[in-house]
């Protein structure tokens, strides 16, 4: 049996790595971790076998850790990064580096520049770069693979359950459509900028884990502008059940990410085909998705965001397409069956030739 070594092997913040491992297993691989324990075990010999596979995600972040709201280099992480980079250079197994970010989130100044250099180094060490944004494939000389829809993947919320949850939530909603921002509450998303211009009276739910100082800053903005109770901020890690319930209650998911560090947002793949509207800051991926999915709306700057929010707040829900049509469009692009098909093709021996 072929072996696929995966780094990191676990991720406590979302199910992406678990779904990635399942897709590799569905493609015929025995999945094992690539970590320090593996390097000092008999499993390390598999890294010298040309028929095996190594998949790497976010390795550049290993060199950094959070100090308050920002991420900074730290010695142990730099040494771990150097060791794993050397392993990739020496590996005879095919190395796939999944480029998720242009730079490490929440880095600034010269440390941000270092993070982009680490991304470039990993791109050079890999036999194949992989991206989830088709328009970034040329920039990184990379292969595009679809990012799976969380709700359509094994263990996710079914499309039927997502559709059934919406009428009850909508019936209880206020006259204005309900906006939400779910997931990690971090500076790179520029949620503080969002709150400075958010229209008074428009419902907005913000939920997710946050650094204490950044949470205090956001709550102070809400209090200063007297946005409550329309704007509700609930910091803290969401369980899967709480996340699904919150997502099902929304009419519009907003993705205000503004620092150009990421290629795609994981929250997008929680909402596509499930939430009536996704309002996202303009990027190459958002433009690509908006051309194919009727529920994606792009905004290009803070100057236009408030007017866009006001217009959406009173617009009829899903007037451009039926919920069923939106789900089918999302499934065609990112559904589990499509991801399986693409992964099998990408990891087949012929694809390495």
DSSP assignment of 256-307 equals ---SS-BSS-HHHHHHTTTSSEEEEE--HHHHHHHTT-TTEEEE--HHHHHH
Which residues have a Cβ under 8 Å from the Cβ of 240 and sit 6 or more positions away? none
Write the CATH number for 291.
3.40.50.2000
Domain count, the chain: 2
Please indicate, yes or no, whether residues 133 and 167 belong to a single structural domain of this protein: no
Write the CATH number for 59.
3.40.50
Q: To which residue do tokens 């020496």 refer?
A: 90
Strand-pair category, 53-57 with 94-98: parallel
Please indicate, yes or no, whether residues 174 and 127 belong to a single structural domain of this protein: no
Beta sheet of 277-281, edge-to-edge order: 231-235, 204-208, 179-182, 252-255, 277-281, 296-299
Q: From the centroid of its chain, how far is CA 202?
A: 26
Do 336 and 150 contact (CB within 8 A), yes or no?
no
Please indicate, yes or no, whether residues 179 and 301 belong to a single structural domain of this protein: yes
Tokens at residue 19, please?
């779904």
Owning domain of residue 190: 159-334
Q: CA angle 323-329-331, nearest 5°? A: 100
Let me know if residue 152 belongs to a domain: no
Please indicate, yes or no, whether residues 340 and 258 belong to a single structural domain of this protein: no
pLDDT tens for the 353 residues of the chain, in order: 899 999 999 988 889 999 999 999 999 999 999 999 999 999 999 999 999 999 999 999 999 999 888 899 999 999 999 999 999 999 999 999 999 999 999 999 999 999 999 999 999 999 999 999 999 999 999 999 999 999 999 988 754 444 444 443 343 444 678 999 999 999 989 999 999 999 999 999 999 999 899 999 999 999 999 999 999 999 998 888 899 999 999 999 999 987 788 999 999 999 999 999 999 999 999 999 999 998 999 998 888 899 999 999 987 654 545 678 889 999 999 999 999 999 999 998 766 65
End-to-end CA distance of the chain: 19
Calpha distance 211→7 (Å, rounded):
25
Please indicate, yes or no, whether residues 243 and 106 belong to a single structural domain of this protein: no
Please indicate, yes or no, whether residues 327 and 341 belong to a single structural domain of this protein: no
pTM for the whole structure: 0.90
């Amino acid at each position: 049996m072929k072996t696929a070594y995966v780094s990191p092997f676990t991720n406590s913040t979302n199910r992406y790595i678990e779904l990635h491992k399942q897709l590799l297993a569905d493609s015929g691989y025995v999945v094992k971790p690539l970590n320090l324990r593996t390097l000092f075990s008999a499993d390390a010999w598999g890294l010298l076998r040309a028929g095996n596979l190594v998949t790497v995600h976010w390795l550049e972040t290993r060199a950094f850790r959070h100090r308050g709201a920002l991420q900074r280099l730290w010695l142990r992480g730099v040494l771990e990064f150097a060791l794993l980079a050397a392993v990739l250079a020496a590996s005879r197994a095919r190395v796939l580096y999944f480029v998720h970010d242009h730079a490490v989130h929440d880095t600034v100044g010269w440390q941000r520049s270092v993070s982009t250099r680490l991304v470039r180094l990993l791109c050079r060490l890999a036999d194949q770069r992989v991206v989830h944004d088709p328009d970034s494939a040329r920039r990184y000389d990379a292969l595009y693979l679809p990012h799976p829809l969380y709700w359509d993947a094994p263990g996710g919320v079914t499309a039927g359950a997502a559709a059934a949850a919406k009428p009850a939530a909508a019936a209880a909603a206020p006259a204005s459509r309900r906006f939400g921002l779910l997931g990690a509450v971090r500076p790179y998303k520029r949620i503080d900028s969002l709150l400075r211009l958010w229209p008074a009276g428009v419902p907005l739910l913000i939920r997710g884990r946050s650094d204490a100082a950044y949470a205090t800053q956001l709550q102070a903005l809400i209090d200063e502008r007297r946005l409550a109770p329309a704007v509700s901020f609930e910091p803290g890690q969401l369980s899967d059940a709480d996340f699904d319930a919150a997502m099902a209650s929304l009419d519009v998911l907003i993705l205000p990410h503004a620092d150009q560090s990421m290629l795609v947002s994981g929250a997008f793949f929680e909402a596509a085909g499930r939430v009536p509207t996704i309002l996202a800051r303009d990027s190459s991926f958002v433009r690509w998705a908006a051309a194919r999915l009727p529920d994606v709306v792009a905004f290009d700057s803070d100057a236009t965001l408030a007017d866009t929010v006001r217009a959406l707040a009173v617009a009829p829900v899903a007037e451009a397409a039926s919920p069923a049509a939106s789900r089918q469009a999302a499934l065609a692009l990112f559904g589990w069956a499509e991801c399986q098909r693409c992964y099998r093709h990408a990891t087949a021996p012929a694809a390495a030739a």
